[in-house]
């Protein structure tokens, strides 16, 4: 579907409820943003608006997760966790969200690590900034889990509302020190280490990914920094290395399938041996 057809559909569907979308009232530009399962657009109005901000994010659902994400975002916002504010919800298709100005963590890390194989090779100022940003991310995730704790009675298995399919690009750094989380349609109840394993996988898969390099030492160092800061805050959350490692390898195999890489399925023992050499 062309952008013009998408714009027309938005106006037809939302124009009667939001005056800004009435064709005779205003015009807007639409640009596509990355989206894993649904259509995500940045909307920019060319003139002054009545109800909406001039810039915001519009999510158009192709699946049935709109209510799930709406409810989760509402709950997180009320808990004072940094997520985009909901501007308007028209189920089952449309969710309008505050635009968070900043850079996603995948881009930030790629920018700082491009051309390096070790953190020690990065110039001291950039290395300091990178380490600080990773700690900011760990603090956001630790707060998110702490405020969405389901069951901690079993010391060996802490259960939380996981964000789900958690990637570095799902986090935005605003004003150099504010972290916002986005995309909560895959949230589910489970072991908190599921989220941490996905984030570790995302560290390994940032460009260049672990499968395109001989020595991912700097990526392993960032994972250790992230885990260390997370558990410094949530020190009561038991860390099971075996569970974490199994989930990480499971996620890396998912990445291999998604990217159609011709390297076969990863072997747990070989991967753990390699990580232990780098640790």
> Residue 197 maps to which CATH number?
1.10.510.10
Half-sphere exposure for 53 (CA within 13 Å, toward CB): 15
Instruction: For residue 233, give its domain range.
Output: 103-278
**Does 248 lie in the same domain as 124?**
yes
From 81, 98, 115, the end of a domain falls on 98
**Does 84 lie in the same domain as 114?**
no
- The secondary element (H helix, E strand) that includes residue 149 is strand 149-151
129-166 burial, b at 16+ Cβ within 10 Å, e below that, comes to ebbebbbbbbebbbbbbbebeeebeeeeebbbbbbbbb
- pLDDT number for residue 148: 98
**Does 108 lie in the same domain as 94?**
no
- pLDDT number for residue 206: 83
Q: Are 196 and 231 in contact (CB under 8 A)?
A: no
**Does 89 lie in the same domain as 48?**
yes
Give Cα 230 distance to the centre of its chain.
16
**Does 235 lie in the same domain as 129?**
yes
**Does 143 lie in the same domain as 61?**
no
> Residue 22 maps to which CATH number?
3.30.200.20
DSSP string, 18-53: -GGGSTTT--EEEEEE--SSSEEEEEEESS--SSS-
- pLDDT number for residue 152: 87
Q: Are 77 and 83 in contact (CB under 8 A)?
A: yes
- The secondary element (H helix, E strand) that includes residue 71 is helix 66-78
What is the model's pTM? 0.92
**Does 254 lie in the same domain as 229?**
yes
237-272 confidence digits (pLDDT tens): 999 998 999 999 999 998 888 878 777 777 777 777
Question: Among candidates 83, 65, 38, 75, which has minimal Cα distance to 186?
Answer: 65
- pLDDT number for residue 261: 78
**Does 91 lie in the same domain as 109?**
no
- Could you give the C-alpha distances from 198 to 43, 74, 94, 192, in angstroms and in order? 30, 24, 27, 11
Q: What percent of the chain has pLDDT over 90?
A: 67
How far apart (Å, rounded) are the C-alpha atoms in residues 259 and 257?
Answer: 5
Q: Are 18 and 56 in contact (CB under 8 A)?
A: no
Residues in the chain with pLDDT < 50? none
- How many domains are contained in the chain? 2
């Amino acid at each position: 579907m062309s952008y013009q057809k998408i714009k027309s559909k938005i106006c037809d569907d939302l124009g009667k409820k939001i005056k800004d979308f009435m064709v005779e009232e205003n015009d807007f530009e639409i640009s596509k943003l990355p989206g894993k399962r649904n259509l995500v657009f940045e909307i920019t109005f060319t003139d002054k608006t009545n109800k909406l901000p001039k810039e915001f994010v519009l999510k158009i659902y192709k699946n049935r997760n709109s209510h799930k994400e709406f409810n989760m975002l509402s709950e997180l916002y009320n808990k004072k966790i940094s997520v985009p504010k909901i501007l308007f919800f028209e189920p089952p298709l449309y969710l309008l969200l505050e635009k968070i100005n900043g850079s996603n963590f995948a881009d930030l890390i790629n920018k700082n690590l491009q051309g390096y194989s070790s953190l020690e090779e990065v110039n001291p100022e950039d290395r300091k900034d990178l380490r600080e940003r990773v700690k900011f991310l760990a603090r956001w995730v630790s707060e998110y889990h702490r405020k969405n704790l389901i069951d901690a009675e079993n010391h060996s298995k802490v259960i939380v509302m996981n964000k789900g399919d958690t990637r570095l690009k799902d986090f935005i750094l605003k004003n150099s020190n504010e972290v916002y989380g986005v995309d909560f349609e895959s949230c589910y109840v489970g072991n908190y280490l599921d989220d941490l394993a996905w984030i570790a996988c995302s560290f390994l898969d940032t460009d260049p990914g672990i499968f395109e390099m001989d020595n991912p030492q700097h990526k392993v160092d960032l994972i250790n920094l992230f885990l260390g800061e997370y558990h410094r805050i949530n020190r009561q959350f038991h860390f099971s290395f075996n569970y974490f490692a199994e989930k990480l390898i499971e996620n890396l195999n998912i990445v291999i399938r998604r990217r159609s890489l011709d390297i076969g399925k990863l072997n747990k023992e070989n991967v753990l041996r390699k990580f232990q050499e780098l640790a």
